[in-house]
Amino acid sequence: MTSDHPPVPFGVYVHVPFCTKRCDYCAFATWTDRHHLMDSYVDAVCADIERTFALSSDRVATSVFFGGGTPSLLPASALVRILSAVPRVHEAEVTVECNPDTVDPAMFETYVAGGVNRISFGVQSMVSEVLAALGRTHDPASVEAGVLAARAAGISRLNLDLIYGGAGETLDQWQRTVETTVGLGPDHVSAYALTVEAGTPLAEDPARHPDDDDQADKYLLADELLTAAGLQNYEISNWATPGQECVHNLLYWDQGEYFGFGCAAHAHVDGRRWWNLRTPERYIAAVCAGETVEASAEVLDGETRRIEALQLAVRTSGGVPSTSLSAADREELGPLLIERGGRLHLSLEGRLLANEVAVRLR
C-alpha cells in the first residue's frame, strides 16, 4: 500500500538470498541451492513486514531497496507482493538489484506496475574475459539488452555497478568498461575496488589478490571519465548526475533509520542496530513460529555514534566541519583535504586515502 504522509526519511531493506552462482569474491548471505524456499521465504518476508509495521504505525518508507543475492531471481509478481506490503510515501524511491542475465521486458513491466522506479544492474565489467575471471554469468550484450528493456518499460533511473582490480584486468580493459558504461547513459554509476573477504575462494588464492597501486590508477581513471560524462562524485565510490543520487544509500551515510527484512538483513532505529538470523531456513521458521528473527543487536554510546557519523560523512561530498580535525592533523593531511566554507572535503587524492583521514576525526 502507499501513503501520502510527509516524507520523513526512513528506509526499508529487503534481502533476497538466492543466486544461480556464487562469485569467488562474495561473502554475503547468499545460497545457490535454496531456490525451493522462494515461496515460503516470500510469505515469511511479507508476514514479517506486516508484523513489524503494525507495531510501528508511524513509520512510512521513503526508500525501499531490494538487495542480495539476486533479487531479480524472484518471480516479479513475488517481489511486487513484498513491495506492496511496505507502507511508503507516494514518491518513494524503490530500487531492485538485478543481474543482467536474469531480466526480461515482462519482468520490468511488472516491476513498474508495482511501484519499482530504479534498477541497479550488477555489471562489474563490460569485458567478457574480466567477467569470466570474476565468475560472473552474464556478458556485455546482456547488460545493453537489460538497460534497453528497463527503459522501454519506463524505468529511467538506472545504476550500473562496477568492480575494478580483478586479477588480470588491464587498465585498458577497465577504461573500456567505464567508457562503454558511460555510453549506455546511466544517471548513476557505482565503482568499487575488489576487496578480499575472509572465507571466500578469492581469499584463499593470494595470486589473484588485487594490487593497491593498480586499483588507485583505475579509480583515478574512473573519476576522470565519469566526471567528463557529467556524473558527479557524491560518495567515494558513487557518481550521479545532479539530483539522481541514491536516496536509500544517502540514508545509510547519514546514519538514518531503516528496517531490514529477510535473512541477515540489518536495521537501525532509535540508536539501536540489529541483524536477522543468517539462513533463510531459520528466518522462515522464526516468522512462522511468531518468534523474533533477530540474531543479535548493539546500541552505540553517544560518543561512538558521533565519531561514526563523521567517518561516514567524510566519505561524501558534504564533508565534515573543519573542527573535526586538529590544526596539526589538517596541516599534516593537507594534500588529502580541501577546506571550503568551514568544512573539510576529501580531495581526489584524499578519496584514495580516506581511512587515513577518518581515523583522525574527533
| Host domain of residue 349 | 303-358
Strand extents, DSSP E, 1-141: 2-3, 11-16, 61-68, 88-98, 118-124
Could you tell me the CA-to-CA distances from 317 to 114, 218, 313, 348 in Å, in that order? 33, 20, 8, 11
pLDDT in tens, 156-199: 999 999 999 988 999 999 999 999 999 999 999 999 999 988 88
Residue 120: inside a domain, yes or no? yes
Q: Write down the H helix ranges in 135-289.
A: 140-152, 171-183, 212-228, 247-253, 280-288
The whole-chain average pLDDT of the chain stands at: 95
Q: Quick one: pLDDT at residue 158?
A: 98
Confidence band for 71, pLDDT divided at 50, 70 and 90: very high
Residue 263: inside a domain, yes or no? no
Q: Quick one: pLDDT at residue 29?
A: 87
Residue 162, class by beta-carbon neighbours within 10 Å (0-12 exposed, 13-18 middle, 19+ buried)? buried
Residue 151: inside a domain, yes or no? yes
Q: Check whether 84 has a pLDDT greater than 80.
A: yes
Residue 344: inside a domain, yes or no? yes
Q: Do residues 110 and 193 share a domain?
A: yes
Residue 262: inside a domain, yes or no? no
Q: Half-sphere exposure (CA, 13 Å, Cβ side) for 320?
A: 26
Q: Quick one: pLDDT at residue 135?
A: 86
Q: What single DSSP character describes residue 188?
A: E
Q: Do residues 194 and 326 share a domain?
A: no
β-bridge pairing 2-3 and 294-299: unpaired
pLDDT in tens, 289-332: 999 999 999 999 999 999 999 999 999 999 999 999 999 999 99
CATH for 43: 3.20.20.70
Q: Check whether 3 has a pLDDT greater than 50.
A: no
Domain boundary (253, 268, 283) is at 253
pLDDT in tens, 37-47: 999 999 999 99
Q: Give me the mean pLDDT over the 122-149 stretch.
A: 95
Q: Do residues 124 and 242 share a domain?
A: yes
Q: Check whether 5 has a pLDDT greater than 60.
A: no
β-bridge pairing 118-124 and 294-299: unpaired
Q: Give me the mean pLDDT over the 135-163 stretch.
A: 96
Domain boundary (253, 275, 290) is at 253
How many domains is the chain built from? 2
Contact by Cβ (8 Å): 206, 175: no
Residue 258: inside a domain, yes or no? no
Q: Do residues 154 and 241 share a domain?
A: yes
Q: Do residues 58 and 203 share a domain?
A: yes
Q: Do residues 245 and 130 share a domain?
A: yes
Q: Quick one: pLDDT at residue 239?
A: 98
Residue 19: inside a domain, yes or no? yes
Closest CA to 68 of 105, 117, 102, 40: 102
Confidence band for 148, pLDDT divided at 50, 70 and 90: very high
Q: Do residues 175 and 106 share a domain?
A: yes
Q: Do residues 153 and 31 share a domain?
A: yes
Q: Do residues 321 and 172 share a domain?
A: no
Domain boundary (253, 269, 285) is at 253
Q: Which residue has the higher pLDDT, 80 or 270?
A: 80
What is the residue type of 81? Answer: R
Q: Do residues 205 and 120 share a domain?
A: yes
Give the separation between CA 232 and CA 244, rounded to whole angstroms.
10
Residue 67: inside a domain, yes or no? yes
Q: What single DSSP character describes residue 229?
A: T
Q: Check whether 260 has a pLDDT greater than 80.
A: yes
Q: Check whether 1 has a pLDDT greater than 60.
A: no
